[in-house]
Amino acid sequence: MHANQFDGNAAFAGGGFMPSQTNQGGESSLTPSKNRESQTLLPLTIKQINHALQSSDDRTGLTIDGVGVNTVTLVGRVCNKSGQITEFKFVLDDGTGTIECTKWLHEPADAMAVESILNGMYVRLYGQLKGFQGKTLSIFSLRPVTDFNEIASHFIECIYVHLYNSRLQYTQASIPSQQHAPNSIQITPTKGYQAQAIPPNQFSGQHNNGQKSVQELVLEYLALPTIRCILKVVLFSFISLTPITYN
Amino acid sequence: MDPLSPAVIVNAELLPFYVGRRVRTVMQVVRSDVLAVIGKSPDEKQLIVKGSPPAPLTSFVEVIGIVNSDKSIKAELWTNFGDEIDMLSYHKLCQLANGEFKHLFL
């Protein structure tokens, strides 16, 4: 490959949680959450949400790690569920905090889907923060967790996205000229990161001496069963702080 | 059912730091009887969890409870996690969640 770059968007193209690259370059002085083009889906811990709510100015909309919070995804246990005909309410507990959640029941299919959700069950949900100071989560989609590796996977995703967005914030802050030129070339986070960090050639040199090369390690991981592969690639990429290639 | 937050994700080597606090961990069941379950923590050390487990227990079980000592937990909640959990990934998550990324969890 021409350079050792980890293209996050290509690697996770199906996931949808990576912030749009086209808007990260010129947008940091605007309100990201109001911009229609940057509709993000962020995997978060409830602690991250509560922390952001405490330190936010309501008018500019909630941001976490410099990214506007639009839709969020959480995994946690259902507690204190209460149901009425039009809505299904409960408290979600993911071990880092609690948040009140509401799912509005518009159709009979919605009501049937939530009937099987019991207290103590682990669920995956997608929703938006609503209400005064965003204290309630309005749910679009809710389903029970069947493979409990999803819980560890979700938290690892939260760590990864936090790291990715934080690095993006850092590199944008270090390239002030590009921030104020919204019409300039789109900045990809990886390119920005490379410009500031140690050149990748230094890392690949270290890896090739007496150890398996990064490429060989990645190929090994790709041969593993799917869940472990995904988790290990994520862990490897930021534990080693080395961009990886997919060739 | 009441929320049990915050509960730190831990493995056996982190237990001494959280004595008296609520933690959560996944363990592989080795032996179980009426009063306690002996299992293997994500970092392959022995863990004793006191309390009455649900029956039947699957191979992996999540326990949320208060740490008694550096080897044992008094369980408040048991959840069967099935028979296929990737313990290495969970172990790595414990290390990250208590290390560099603690601010996301606690």
Q: Domain of B65: which CATH number?
A: 2.40.50.140
Which letter, b or e, does each residue of A77-103 get, where b requires 16 or more Cβ atoms within 10 Å of its Cβ?
bbbebeeeeebbbbbbbbbbbbbebbb
Query: With b meaning 16 or more CB within 10 Å and e meaning fewer, what string describes A208-247?
Result: eeeeeebbebbeebeeeeebeebbbbbbbbbeeebbbbee
Assess contact for A82 and A73: CB atoms under 8 A: no
Superfamily name and number for A41-168? Nucleic acid-binding proteins (2.40.50.140)
Residues spanned by the domain of B78: 8-98
Residue B93 placed within a domain: yes
Note whether B76 and B4 are within 8 A (CB).
Answer: yes
Which residue from A77, A120, A231 is facing B86, i.e. has the nearest CB? A231
Q: Is the pLDDT of residue A147 over 50?
A: yes
ipTM > 0.90 (yes/no): yes
- For residues A194 and A243, is the Cβ–Cβ distance under 8 A? yes
Highest mean pLDDT among A172-176, B40-44, B54-58: B40-44
The domains of chain A are located at 41-168
Residue recorded with tokens 């049937």: A112
Decide which of A205 and A69 is more confident. A69
Chain A residues bordering chain B (beta-carbon distance below 8 Å): 45-48, 51, 77-80, 91, 93-98, 119-120, 122, 147-149, 152-153, 155-156, 158-159, 162-163, 227-228, 231-232, 235
Mutation to test the A interface, candidates B60, B91, B104, most A Cβ within 10 Å: B104
What DSSP string describes B5-68? ---EE--GGGGGGGBTSEEEEEEEEEEE-SSEEEEE-TTS-EEEEES---SS--SEEEEEEEE-
pLDDT of residue A54: 84
Judge: B101–A159 Cβ closer than 8 Å, yes or no.
yes
Domain assignment present for B103: no
Residue B106 falls within a domain, yes or no?
no
Check if the beta carbon of residue B27 is closer than 8 Å to that of residue B44: no
- Residue-level pLDDT at A31: 47
Torsion sign over Cα A194, B104, A53, A20: positive
Across chain B, which distance is largest between two alpha carbons, in Å? 38
Residue B1 covered by a domain: no
Question: What integer pLDDT is reported at residue B83 of this predicted model?
Answer: 94
Count of domains for chain B? 1
